[in-house]
Amino acid sequence: MNVCIAGIGSYVPDKVLTNFDLEKIIETSDEWIRTRSGIRERRVSKDNEPTSDLAANAAKRALESAKIKADEVEAIIVATATPDMLFPSTACLVQHKIGARRIISFDISAGCTGWLYALTIVESFIKNGYDNILVIGAEELTKITDYTDRSTCVLFGDAAGAALVKKTDEKRGILSTYYSADGSYGHLLQQPAGGSRIPASHESVESKLHYLKMEGNEVFKVAVRAMYESAIETLKKVNISSEQVDFLIPHQANIRIIEATAKRLKIPMDKVGINLDKYGNTSAASIPVGLDQAAKAGRIKKGDLILLVAFGAGFTWGGVLVRW
Ligand code: UT7
């Protein structure tokens, strides 16, 4: 018995914020943003459009693509760093919004690696008898972005991607996974206030501690190493070389990190899924959105070996190898 992605879907809000729009509100340039990050534009959710809305829309599309009805779903996991609120979980809100039965529903927090972390939970659920699990990566990073901080506000966007994961007798699905984390780097990428360490207060808001903070340069150095490690360790477990990989979908933080990873793996860029040019860094959503785009564009076909690698807040990192 194998565990496969039977359906995939994604959703992004309509509003586009381009680099040229950002030039009008902060001291930056389209040229700097494109050359330093690869991003041209990103999507921004409406004030009354929380993460669970994006997640529910992506989930409905994944169900359609898998030809599964909402009442057949047996579990919902949402990976997010930007839930609607600290509790209830976004997954519970999605369960209600899509009209699923009273099923196990919870969020996980593993930064940009969240969706890949969620896949391993799903894998063990399915091996323990569950089936038809929705695994969703959904983020509204623009809601925790400080639009006076040019070092972060040009990077992030809103999106959701979802997969319907189920058991299969076919020789396809998840072949290998690898995960790691190192909390000593936590301070380099964080949302300091709003939790138990610095509860929300006038002071925390005035000091802008409810916004995402990142030491980009320091994060960059670790990200390049960790993305490569994730790929190599994932492949090593099943004795597959990077040259055998048909398509790579990396987390979308920076085109330079992606290019460096692909180069070290000897995977040409025409076999790499890119969505950060249009959507920016969408954290836990970037990989399922990338999978959906690649599937719809016919860039991945049945039987292909697809490598997914991510790195994010925690720090967390990991990889998943899938036979499509
Ligand atoms: O998603 C999870 C993990 N996240 C990542 O992996 C992100 C990793 N980091 C990065 O992608 C990059 O570090 C950034 C894109 C965030 C920044 O690129 P960088 O090449 O590391 O730039 P930097 O932070 O070293 O800044 C270089 C210069 C600085 O000016 P000085 O000190 O050299 O005069 C910055 O002030 O660029 C300046 N700068 C900007 N200039 C124009 C920073 N942000 C901007 C901006 N526009 N938006």
Q: pLDDT tens digits, residue range 122-133?
A: 999 999 999 999
Closest CA to 162 of 133, 121, 141: 133
Domain boundaries, the chain: 2-170, 174-323
Q: Give Cβ neighbours of residue 109 (< 8 Å, ≥ 6 apart).
A: 79, 80, 81
pLDDT digits (tens, 9 = 90+) for 223-265: 999 999 999 999 999 999 999 999 999 999 999 999 999 999 9
CATH topology of domain 2-170: Peroxisomal Thiolase; Chain A, domain 1 (3.40.47)
| CA angle, residues 25, 30, 35, in degrees to nearest 5 | 135
Q: Are 2-170 and 174-323 in the same CATH fold? A: yes
Give distance in angstroms: CA of 217 to centre of ligand 1: 6
Kindly give the confidence (pLDDT) of every residue in the chain, 324 residues in length, as a single tens digit, with 9 standing for 90 and above. Answer: 999 999 999 999 999 999 999 999 999 999 999 999 999 999 999 999 999 999 999 999 999 999 999 999 999 999 999 999 999 999 999 999 999 999 999 999 999 999 999 999 999 999 999 999 999 999 999 999 999 999 999 999 999 999 999 999 999 999 999 999 999 999 999 999 999 999 999 999 999 999 999 999 999 999 999 999 999 999 999 999 999 999 999 999 999 999 999 999 999 999 999 999 999 999 999 999 999 999 999 999 999 999 999 999 999 999 999 999
**Superfamily for 174-323?**
Thiolase/Chalcone synthase (3.40.47.10)
Measured by CA distance, the residue closest to atom 48 of ligand 1 is: 150
Q: Where are the alpha helices (DSSP H) in 28-169?
A: 30-37, 51-66, 90-97, 114-127, 150-153
Residue 107 CA, ligand 1 centroid: distance in Å: 30
**Contact (Cβ atoms closer than 8 angstroms) between residue 178 and residue 324:** no
User: What is the pTM assigned to this prediction?
Assistant: 0.97
Q: Parallel, antiparallel, or unpaired for β 316-323 and 305-312?
A: antiparallel
Percent of the chain residues past pLDDT 90, beyond the cut: 100
Residues with C-beta less than 6 Å from any ligand 1 atom? 28, 32-33, 36-37, 112, 150-151, 154-155, 216-217, 219-220, 223, 253-254, 257, 281, 311-312
Separation of 281 CA from ligand 1 center, angstroms?
Answer: 14
- In sequence order, which residues have a C-beta less than 8 Å from that of residue 315 and are 6 or more positions away? 111, 181, 182, 183, 185, 186, 188, 189, 219, 222, 226
For the CA of 312, the closest atom of ligand 1 is 2
Distance 180 CA to ligand 1 centre (A): 25
Instruction: Please list the active-site residues.
Output: 112, 251, 281
User: Contact 4/131 with Cβ under 8 angstroms?
Assistant: no
Q: Say which DSSP state 156 is in.
A: B
63/61 Cα distance (integer angstroms): 5
β-strand partners of 162: 9, 136
